[in-house]
Every structure is written in C-alpha cells, then in structure tokens.
Structure 1
C-alpha cells in the first residue's frame, strides 16, 4: 500500500538508510503548527510526540518540547525525539489485550468461561453471588468491578484478598454483564489471569508475547530497562503540585512520574518475594507500558496488516475482527456510563471511536473519521491511539504534560480536552486528509 513517494518519505521519517530527501512543504507547515500548540504561552505542553499513518504507511512523525526538564539545578533539559518513550497510561490496556488474545487463540483461556477457573479462587460480586464473571466482561468494562477500593497494590497484597474482602471493589446495584463502567481494576485481574495460566511474571510475559516479536523497546517494568531505554524515557509533568494538586500555569514544571533524570527507577518493593499469579497490578497492566510513538506505529501497522509482522502471523485476522467489533454500545443511561460522552462503543479491550458529535468521541473537526484504539490519561500524560483499519489511516499522539488545568479547557466538539482536539485535527488535516479527487473519497 502507499505510493512510492509515501514509502520513501516513511523511510526517511523513520530514520531509514539512504540519501535524504526534502520534507514536503505541507509537513514543514504541520511541524510548525504542532510546535505552536506545544509552545502556546497561555496553555503550554511539556512535550509532544505524534505519528500519522495513511493508507497503511507511516507518512509523518513529529516531536516538540522536552522529554525532561531541569528543575532547581537537578537533571538536564532533553528534547523529545523519535526514540522518546512515554508511560502511555490506558493505551496500555489495548497492548495487554493483544497479548491476552494470543492466549485465547492458543486455547489457554476462554473469553466466556468463569474467570475463577484461571484465578484459583471464586471471583464473584458479593451482591450478585450467582452471576459468573468472564474475561469478556472484564475486557468490556461490564464485570461490575469498580475502582473505589483502588487498582494498584504492593507485592505483599494478594489480589484475591481485595476482590473477596473489599465490598467497595464491586457495584452494589449493577449485576455482571448488565452495565458499562470504565474500570482499571479489571486489567489487574486480567494480568493476574495471564500470569496464572502461563506461570510467567506479567512484565516478562508481555516482552515475550508482544514487545520482542514486534521489535519494540520499553516495557512495563522500568527497573529492568537498559541504560539506553532509561535515557529515552520521558518524565511526565504538570504545572500542578503532586500533593495539594494546585495548578499554577505561571509556575515551574513539576515532575509527576518517571523522573529518571534525577533518580533511577527502583524495582517494586518486595518483588524478590512476589508469587507469580497473585497480583499483576504490581506492573500496571492497566497503564504502565513505556513505549514511543514510533513503536506504537509498528503496532498500528501490524493491525492494519491483519496481525502480520516481519513475515510472522502474531494474531489471526479473525481474532482482531472480534477484538475490534462492538461488544458494548451505548443505548441509554441504563446501559452504561459514557463518562460525559467519551465512551459510546467498546470492543475487547479497545475503544471504538464512532464519531459522535457534541460531547462525544469525535476525533477530528470537519471530517468523518471512525476508528478503533484507545485513549490514555495519567500523571499529566494524555495519549491517543486511533486507526481506521479498513483504510489504513491512523494517529498516535502522546502529550507529556499540561501547563494549565485541562479540565478548564474542554474540547469544543468532543469530550476530549481542547489541546487534544487541536493536535488531532491539525495532524489529520496535515498528514491524512484525502486530497481532492482522492479515489478514497
């Protein structure tokens, strides 16, 4: 797929060998526009890395701002580069799901079996003890689990104790399978299932099933990173205190997580005594993957190519079709919580961007762009992975931090922040939008 020019451009943008070619003027303008959004004096962003795919080929990569910011003489300023890895928050859920679906293909787990079979204890909502809970329900946020009791626990905590003894972990008024509520804890359960059926620690399992086969850098455990990977891991920032959570848009950038320019990562406490299959939240299957926009582009290309990468079939096309098909769709308030219009349709561990206007999940202004993928938001990071699998068009955007409160700058045409809207629409128009007379129109 793609024209010869697009293929050559993709090679250059991805650091391919060969003689350099000029960047098209449109992409020079796109780079300037994105940089201006990052440097907005009233609403700055600490850093940005983006990638655009058109017709199955990467046609643009761009970075702006800083991956690390020197503060009070500590650390050093480092720019965002194509190799910069960010903690991508909930986009990690989709990556975890890609590995889980390999276990489904192999028959190690079944989406519709009682998840208790894999956990080694009975998983039930205490308010609905007769209702079975399945991996499909966990993947579609319909399991009736809630985050009110937390969703990340230390090595000394068995997830079983939380799920069996903590009533706040469960909805009292919604039976399993009956209602959509976005829930991070479900991915702790999923990761623990993956550990139990394979006997492998979650971070290492993800390396074996997903990262290594695709040739990706990073992972779910920064303490195991190489020196080069650590040097390329961005710090996430806000101009907001970490304790009192007070914003000061005129103040300094405050590191929120991954401040490895100042201090190196340490292994999770008690990891040497951790019993595999008891609590995978230690590695955050829900949000802990560090990876670059470039490597997310590799994942996107694999999906567009029907699960193939480097001559290897990582996932079957029919598996991906199931993963991205509608498993839950919003009908009315009795069917689920859209989180102020953000969620309207869900696959297996993936969001479906159905281009709903208003306070909905529309990704770009003035164009129809339906896609599948996932959003992420944590510690200042805001991320988008969205791809139209039929056309091979997609976008990855990773914002490293906000200088002003994004909740005070809501989107104008969606439930996203205004900064996200500006970046996604600018990227789409500058790199993906069909030209006049394009046969795809």
Structure 2
C-alpha cells in the first residue's frame, strides 16, 4: 500500500512538471492492464503502428497518459527516438477543431459574426455562382454547409489570392470545381477542407494579422501551449520535437502496402529534410490566402497540450486561472447545427454520400458530434460509435492524413475524454474495416481500450 501511495504521488508530480493538471491516476493494476492492451495494438503484425500517444480524462482529471513507440524510426545514421511528453504531432483534421477556437474568440470579440455575409469582411462579394442570391456565412463554413468543395483544391501558393480562386474569371478559378452546382449554401452537409482555408483568410481579414500569429495570440500563448501552424514561428519548438509520420507504402503514387516492409516517411521527416517556411512569406499580406498555414490540417501540438485544450473546454473556457473563451462561447460552439437525415437528405446522397460512409451523423460549430450510432448491414458496419457496447457520446474531431490517425473527443456533461495520436499505419486501413463503426478496426480497438481501461466505472 505504501508503494502504491508513493507511485500515485510521483505520477501527480510528473504531471505537474510536464505542465498538466495534477492527475488522479488509475489503480496500478488497471493502468498496467491498459498499457499491455495498447502495446499489443501497437505491435499487432496485421496493423503495426510506429508510435502511439494517448490521454484519458475522467471527471475532468487526467487519469492516464502513455506513449508507445517512436517519433523517429531508426535509420542507418541515427537510433530510434521515442515519443515523449514534448513530442509534437501534425494532427491533421484535429487542426480544424483548434482553428475553430480562434474563430469563435473573434466572434466573441465582435470582430466576426456567425451569420453575416463573409464578403463584407473579405472585401469582395463572395457567392456560389450557381446560387448568386445566397450569401456565405461563417456558420456555413464551420458546419460544412457552405456549398464549397475540395475538387478545386484547398491549399494554394502564397502569391495566389483566394479572390482569384473563388470568383468566376479569377486566374485560378478554372472550371469552378470548388463550388457545388447542386446544393445551395446552407442546405447540404459535405465535409470540405477548403472551408477552413476560407475561415483562416476571414480571420486574417478581420484582424489584419497573419493566421499563425493570430492563433498564438488568441489561444496558444494565453494557455501556455507549445503549439503552432508554422514551426519556425513559435517556441520553444525544436525540429527534434516533431514526430515523423509513416506508412508502410511509398509516399507518392504507389498503392501497394507491405506490413512486413520498411516504414516510409510521409511528412515531417525533419531528421532528413529541415522544415521550410511558406514561400514568399515576408511579402505575404494578411487576408489574402490563409490556406498557406494549413488551418485544415497542419497544426503541430502534443497530446499533453491537446489535453489542456480539452480541460479548458470542460471547465467553461477557463484554463490555469485565465478565461480563454467565455462560457457562452463554449456552449454555442457545441450546440447542434446539423443532423443526418435518416432518409438521406441534408447531406447524404443515397443515404451515405456526405456522411462519409456513415461516419458523420451530427455537427456543431467546427466539431463532430458523436451520437453513438452503430449500423451493421450484411456484415458491414458503419456509424460513429466509439465503444463496442455503446454508451459514450461526445464532441470533438477525428484526424487522418499522411498515415497519422488521431481522435480528440469528450463528453461535456460527464467531463470524460479520450485523445490518441498514431504516427502512422502499417497496412491499408480500408482492408481492415471496423466491427461496429465506420472506423478501421485498429481505431476501434484503441478507443474501446481507452474507454474500458481508463474511463468506464468498475
């Protein structure tokens, strides 16, 4: 008993030293069992993972945090580097969730409006040419109902102003593939990365500040987070802190997976190629093209700092004695904005389309709302369920790109939450579908293990 008490005190002290809230750790046996289960998932030869970092929060306290595997795979010239508390991950679409915090702060300050015509801030009349009488609003962008599409691209070079992309006749408008010809703004859900490029540009236009620095001022610096959208512009980030992302397939073109083959770096391989700034950054004018900072997917942040964001939202927008967002702003952010129609309307062609194989069932402002839906038909599963037997509903966001897979989700009422980031995958996830959701089987195993091992009552 004395040894257990000392271990618990040490764990709490380590959490404070790492910048997190004092944790109430799991009982030693329960934590050990969860660690073994997660290690087995990482080592599974059917879907090996190069690295995994997880956090579990129960009743508003961090109760479990572990890292597995490497942030850099061993090479002929250097040994493997393990994931640690300082490791920064390029968290893909979880970036959208964090970008939303900055946008909502500007709404709170009266510099942006959820329902005003965004053209008034951008400085040009922005319309879907197929529906010229329907203004585009920030609420539409945040809920993926803007009628924009990714078919025309979602990231453009610094010298390209988005005005030239979005307006007919612009130098980068092309055939107008970025606009839906079938669905009016506000009428249809379709998950679109480009929405967040427009949001970042809108934020810049409203403030005159570059998006990456604006996010630091509004969110990261007040919270004391080591996080940012442009590595060289925030400190004390170091290249060696950043995890490389991997797959066991070639980076470009090749579709063949080899679970027994070597790990192939996909992005952030800074041990080989140093990071570079976006081109022509010194001449860039804020409000022209916020896509260059990757607001849809290029945030680099640790799981510990993601946990701080989660705790802030659980605590009504308050973090370490500072009010980051007003309680009403947090409430507005998580108010339900869109729900999948069971018959396939409002964002679901033929019952699926906009819901991405049945994964998306509801949305708030910049956040997926996990409804605990599981549908199994003819042996195929779909839905947004996170725990095999059900029972966990939450808000947050998924992320996957470059091999990375991530989840940030919490229940605002129970104040329970789960975070995980995998630094890659060793086999084709589409060939290993889930048993009870639209996720791949290895993703289901991680969330199910975290919930049962650290959050569910016993």
TM-score bucket of the superposed structures, by smaller chain: over 0.9
Is 2:406 the counterpart of 1:395?
no
CA contact under 8 A between 1:330 and 1:338: conserved in structure 2?
yes
My pick for the range that moved more, 133-142 or 209-218, is 209-218
| Correspondence for 2:62 among 34, 58, 61 | 58
Is 2:325 the counterpart of 1:325?
no
Deviation track 1:291-334 (CA, whole Å, cap 9, x = no partner) reads: 01111000011011010112121111111111111101111322
CA contact under 8 A between 1:13 and 1:61: conserved in structure 2?
no
Is 2:196 the counterpart of 1:179?
no
| Correspondence for 1:231 among 230, 237, 240 | 240
C-alpha displacement at 1:22, in angstroms? 9.9
CA contact under 8 A between 2:45 and 2:259: conserved in structure 1?
no
Is 2:297 the counterpart of 1:274?
no
| Correspondence for 2:357 among 340, 343, 351 | 340
CA contact under 8 A between 1:217 and 1:229: conserved in structure 2?
no
| Correspondence for 2:179 among 160, 170, 174 | 170
Deviation track 1:96-147 (CA, whole Å, cap 9, x = no partner) reads: 1111111101110110000101111111101111111100000000000000
Distance 1:372 1:6 in 2: 33
Distance 2:58 2:9 in 1: 13
- SS of 2:183's partner is coil
- SS of 1:123's partner is coil
| Correspondence for 1:44 among 45, 48, 51 | 48
Residues 278 and 29 from structure 1, CA distance in 2 versus in 1: closer, same or farther, beyond 3 angstroms?
Answer: same
Tell me the equivalent position of 2:442. 419
Is 2:312 the counterpart of 1:302?
yes
Distance 2:427 2:371 in 1: 29
Tell me the equivalent position of 2:15. 14
Tell me the equivalent position of 1:222. 231
Tell me the equivalent position of 2:350. none
CA contact under 8 A between 1:6 and 1:57: conserved in structure 2?
no
C-alpha displacement at 1:23, in angstroms? 6.4
- SS of 2:383's partner is coil
CA contact under 8 A between 2:126 and 2:166: conserved in structure 1?
yes
Distance 2:8 2:200 in 1: 37
What pairs with 1:80-119 in structure 2 (closer than 5 Å)? 80-119=83-122
My pick for the range that moved more, 224-233 or 377-386, is 224-233
Tell me the equivalent position of 1:248. 258
Tell me the equivalent position of 2:125. 122
Matched residue pairs, number? 430
Distance 2:389 2:306 in 1: 26
Residues 302 and 268 from structure 1, CA distance in 2 versus in 1: closer, same or farther, beyond 3 angstroms?
Answer: same
CA contact under 8 A between 1:10 and 1:57: conserved in structure 2?
no
- SS of 1:169's partner is coil
Q: Which runs of 4+ in 1 moved over 6 A?
A: 4-7
CA contact under 8 A between 2:231 and 2:237: conserved in structure 1?
no
Distance 1:130 1:248 in 2: 51
Is 2:453 the counterpart of 1:430?
yes
TM-score by length of 2: 0.90
C-alpha displacement at 1:15, in angstroms? 5.3
CA contact under 8 A between 1:411 and 1:421: conserved in structure 2?
yes
CA contact under 8 A between 1:76 and 1:261: conserved in structure 2?
no
- SS of 1:111's partner is coil
- SS of 1:168's partner is coil
CA contact under 8 A between 2:91 and 2:421: conserved in structure 1?
yes
Deviation track 1:174-233 (CA, whole Å, cap 9, x = no partner) reads: 000000000000000000010111111111111111111111112100233547532111
Tell me the equivalent position of 1:377. 400
**Root-mean-square deviation (CA), in Å?**
2.0
TM-score by length of 1: 0.94
Segments of 5+ residues of structure 1 without an aligned counterpart are: 436-441
- SS of 2:374's partner is coil
Tell me the equivalent position of 2:373. 356
C-alpha displacement at 1:367, in angstroms? 3.4
